[in-house]
Amino acid sequence: MTATERAPAKINLCLHVTGQRADGYHLLDSLVVFTEFGDSLTVQAGQGLSLGVQGPEAAGLGAGPDNLVWRAARLLGAEDMALVLHKELPLASGIGGGSSDAAACLRLVARMTGRPLPAPAEILGLGADVPVCLAPQPCRMQGVGEEVRPVAGLPEFWLVLANPRVEVPTPQVFRALARLDNPPMPAGLPHWPDAASLFGWLASQRNDLEAPAFALAPIIEQVRAALAAMPGCALARMSGSGATCFGLFATAAQAQKAAQALCAAHPDWWVVATPRLS
């Protein structure tokens, strides 16, 4: 028997850094969505536990014990399973690729074995983004990543994701933050009847990691500017700690045309147009 689980890209539509705990972990407030585009994980019966990695973005990703998929499988006590991860998302790119892969593994192994998911603290131990990726749906993520609440009623829209093929280590970005006590989102989120209202509200929000990431890798700001200049782009912003930026579009035609234009102008960038995962 073979089973497959999707591992969609995670997008921080806004990301506010609101404080820091005594143990050094940063406190966040983020509106998160997922995209139709992403990685996938397949499992079938095997001798012992194994992990293979393939796909256009597999280069540089090891399949050993440090791989988050391997760690997630071990956390659930997986055995006699041959796992194959198909990588479509760039590594270390601010869109939760590794975390989404680990969450997909937890869902897949739990489904195949009937075992319950690990305790929340154990899931958080895999990474701060793993809890939000466990149920890929629009949500508000707070705390250090452990507080996840679904957000209902988000309108449909399209995104263009662009990554300039640079890696910006997340710890360096956080260390370069000018301040750690930035304002959170409003306690109560508004109702967005359509994409235009959501885009307008998001324009009043922030990603507090943009400025330090731009300072460390100025090309990320160039990517954001290139997205913002595309016809139909309502908002361009960096996701997570970078280096992937996204542009928001109301229609598939606008997004696909923008992605084609970016690919032609910057063939060395990773670019994809994708709808939001409903």
Per-residue model confidence as pLDDT tens digits over 78-106: 999 999 999 999 999 999 999 999 999 99
Please report the pLDDT score of residue 24 as a whole number. 87
Question: Would you place residue 1 in the very low, low, confident or very high pLDDT band (cuts 50, 70, 90)?
Answer: confident
Cβ neighbours of 83 (radius 10 Å): 24
Of the listed 29, 101, 129, 208, which one is catalytic? 129
Whether 10 is catalytic is yes
Nearest-5° Cα angle at 114, 110 to 117? 40
Please report the pLDDT score of residue 52 as a whole number. 96
Of the listed 10, 39, 87, 208, which one is catalytic? 10
17: Cβ contacts below 8 Å, ≥ 6 apart: 26, 27, 28, 174, 177, 180, 182, 208, 209
Domains defined for the chain, CATH in brackets: 2-148 (3.30.230.10), 153-275 (3.30.70.890)
For the cut 90, the answer to whether the pLDDT of residue 45 exceeds it is: no
Q: Report CA dihedral (62, 67, 73, 77) to the nearest 10 degrees.
A: 100
Q: What is the pTM of this model?
A: 0.96
- Condensed to tens digits (0 to 9), the pLDDT of residues 48-84 reads 999 999 999 999 999 999 999 999 999 999 999 999 9
Closest CA to 90 of 116, 64, 61: 61
- Condensed to tens digits (0 to 9), the pLDDT of residues 210-268 reads 999 999 999 999 999 999 999 999 999 999 999 999 999 999 999 999 999 999 999 99
Give mean pLDDT, residues 146-159.
97
Give the 3-state secondary structure of the chain: CEEEEEEEEEEEEEEEEEEECCCCCEEEEEEEEEEEEEEEEEEEECCCEEEEEECCCCCCCCCCCCCHHHHHHHHCCCCCEEEEEECCCCCCCCCCHHHHHHHHHHHHHHHHHCCCCCCHHHHHCCCCCHHHHHCCCCEEEEECCCEEEECCCCCCCEEEEEECCCCCCHHHHHHCCCCCCCCCCCCCCCCCCCHHHHHHHHCCCCECCHHHHHHHCCHHHHHHHHHHCCCCCCEEEECCCCCCEEEEECCHHHHHHHHHHHHHHCCCCEEEEEEECC
Whether 129 is catalytic is yes
Question: Would you place residue 46 in the very low, low, confident or very high pLDDT band (cuts 50, 70, 90)?
Answer: confident
Share of the chain above pLDDT 70, in %: 100
CB 79 within 8 A of CB 46: no
